[in-house]
Structure 1
Amino acid sequence: MAELARFTLDTPDEEIVEVVRIDGGAIIDDAIDVDLLTRLEDELRPWIDRTPGGLDNFSGQNTTRTGALVARSAACRELVMHPKVIDMANRFLSPYTNKIQLHLTQVINIKPGQGTQPLHRDRLAWGGYIPDEIDPQFNTMWAMTDFTPENGGTRIVPGSPTWDEDRRATDDEKTQAAMGAGSVLLYSGSVIHGGGENCTDADRTGINITYTLGWLRTEENQFLSCPPEVAKDLDPELANLMGYSMGNYALGYYSDPHDMPGPVDLLTPEMVLGRKPSSKHSNSGLLLPAE
């Protein structure tokens, strides 16, 4: 059976990114400490318990998917902005964009009795229109509980990012992400993967946080999941990652539909939050005069 490469936090970022690019996935053991893990559990469990199961076989009728994590959990904000992950996401996606963005925040809770999720590639969210040579996503699955082959640890097919669309993995080509709570699975948007079957009597809980190219539409609508009245109090770098900044020149500017006409009508997203334009994108932080 195929195996996933395993690393520690001390492993150089470029080494891990290269493995994710080629194999499609890798594990960093013990990536967060017990304190953060405990805070995540305390902040997220009430929301998880209130989330209904899925409506079909893909989402999983015995699986719950809880979103809007940036607005709901301060601890999740730390996960989103984990320095090593942000650096690796930038390294992985930088050949195709000058700015990455937050794509999805979701707790995936697989309950006892849930069968396997169909194997798939996440990049299909864009309908297959992205050229094969561009990998649009860098993904993480943080283990809140231990992940095992018995409780639904993520199934993944190492080496599959470059496979033809019609190729099917044999059992020997598949593996599962077995890792302890506090570890993280890193995987690409092109690797074949899916949730596993939970044959135990306990939930398997993971936090799926993913990043994508700054010029693509995101899976989770960050502006509705975390609207300006919440985002204005976030760390500016996190708000920037969520899209409250210009993605490039003329990408993402804002006009207030309720404001009376004035000398300036077009605003940068930073202005919505009452901040100066990001220095990283100063060329796109221009205020354009109304005609």
Structure 2
Amino acid sequence: MAVQHVANTATAQEIATCLREHGHVVIDKLVPSETMDRIETELHPYFSATPFGHMSELGFKTQRTGSLIARSPTVRELIMNETYLGAVKELLSHAEKIQLTITEVNSLAPGAEAQFLHQDEMLYDRFPFPINYEVFVNSLWALTDFTEEMGATRVVPGSHTAGVGAQFSYEDSLPVEMERGSVLLFSGKIYHGGGANRSKRVRRAIDIGFSVGWVRQVENQYLSCPIEIARTLPKDLLSLMGYESTGGYGFIGDRQNSLAALELQHEPILRK
């Protein structure tokens, strides 16, 4: 099997169909290099201040720079990209509500070792979700080119149907090589891992993940983005961040919609 690629002219439905069948898909050059230039400029001050991982799972030579909604207006544009977000919504359409669950830049320094192959769904206590029920959809935007030498993320094509606890070797995986401005979308069920960076360049990816609305967020969006900034954001982005009540959960105070309370700019819990 090969790594799946589609053109940036593909529809959200076509992308979602490929995701369901193969567990992953690369949308080639979905945004221009100039968009990535702006993101690098906005986030550059934070890269050098980000510590390296303190455990092997996080990578001893990998930096993970988060809070991207607060720090980068251009990342907000990536999140709301119509084609990209449309494919995510299509794959998670069985859920009443979806949410943004993580935003971070993963920077693999030269010498970074290959990450172990894993499923992102393992975050949820390794719960054996049904094979046909998607809980988590992740994406890696290429802030730099992705080459095998630079440590391109590796996927095991078709492994999204293998279930929890399946065993795959490094040789079972393929490097996802793509140009800057491209994005890899992949199911939370597929086995994957970062490659080893044998080059002299840092490999950077913008990790943006989504989940069904009833599981806990990986990155706490309410604390990652100061409320002063949150109040300036459009409603559709705030809704993705989790500020909109849905069904029987997400309310605050006296059963108030949290998005409406945010717009009122007061503390409804203390209001008499």
The normalised TM-score by structure 1 is 0.87
Q: 1:114 aligns with which of 112, 129, 132?
A: 112
1:220 and 1:164 mapped to 2: Cα distance?
25
What is the letter of the counterpart of residue 130 of structure 2? D
Q: Look up the match of 1:274.
A: 263
1:213 partnered with 2:202: no
**Residue 86 of structure 1: CA displacement?**
1.2
**Residue 189 of structure 1: CA displacement?**
0.3
Please give the residue correspondences for 1:1-291 in structure 2 after superposition, counting only pairs within 5 Å.
2-95=1-94, 97-129=95-127, 131-133=129-131, 134-170=133-169, 173-246=172-245, 248-255=246-253, 265-274=254-263
**Residue 170 of structure 1: CA displacement?**
4.5
What is the alpha-carbon root mean square deviation over aligned residues?
1.8
What is the letter of the counterpart of residue 230 of structure 1? I
| Residue-by-residue CA offset, 1:171-214 (whole Å, 9 max, x unaligned) | 55310110011111110100000011000111000000011101
For residue 273 of structure 1, give the secondary structure of its aligned residue in structure 2: helix
After superposing the two structures, state which structure 1 stretch, 161-170 or 82-91, moved more: 161-170
What is the letter of the counterpart of residue 266 of structure 1? R
1:236 and 1:117 mapped to 2: Cα distance?
37
2:33 and 2:177 mapped to 1: Cα distance?
18
| Residue-by-residue CA offset, 1:142-191 (whole Å, 9 max, x unaligned) | 00101000011001001001114343234553101100111111101000
- Would you say the 8 A contact 1:154–1:176 is kept in 2? yes
Identity of aligned residues (%): 35
- Would you say the 8 A contact 1:22–1:161 is kept in 2? no
- Would you say the 8 A contact 2:128–2:163 is kept in 1? no
- Would you say the 8 A contact 1:159–1:191 is kept in 2? yes
After superposing the two structures, state which structure 1 stretch, 8-17 or 68-77, moved more: 8-17
1:175 and 1:7 mapped to 2: Cα distance?
17
2:252 and 2:228 mapped to 1: Cα distance?
15
How many residues in Structure 1 have an aligned counterpart in Structure 2? 266
After superposing the two structures, state which structure 1 stretch, 123-132 or 68-77, moved more: 123-132
Structure 1 residues 101, 65: CA separation in 2 closer, same or farther (over 3 Å shift)?
Answer: same
What is the letter of the counterpart of residue 119 of structure 1? L
1:164 and 1:243 mapped to 2: Cα distance?
28
| Residue-by-residue CA offset, 1:22-63 (whole Å, 9 max, x unaligned) | 211111111101221110110012111110000111100100
For residue 206 of structure 2, give the secondary structure of its aligned residue in structure 1: strand
1:91 and 1:243 mapped to 2: Cα distance?
19
What is the letter of the counterpart of residue 202 of structure 1? R
2:249 and 2:167 mapped to 1: Cα distance?
39
2:164 and 2:257 mapped to 1: Cα distance?
40
- Would you say the 8 A contact 2:147–2:177 is kept in 1? yes
2:172 and 2:2 mapped to 1: Cα distance?
9
1:171 and 1:64 mapped to 2: Cα distance?
23
Q: Look up the match of 1:278.
A: none
The normalised TM-score by structure 2 is 0.93
2:171 and 2:20 mapped to 1: Cα distance?
21
Unmatched segments (≥5 aa) in structure 2 = none
Unmatched segments (≥5 aa) in structure 1 = 256-264, 276-286
Q: Look at both structures and tell me which one has the larger radius of gyration over its CA atoms.
A: 1
- Would you say the 8 A contact 2:142–2:180 is kept in 1? yes
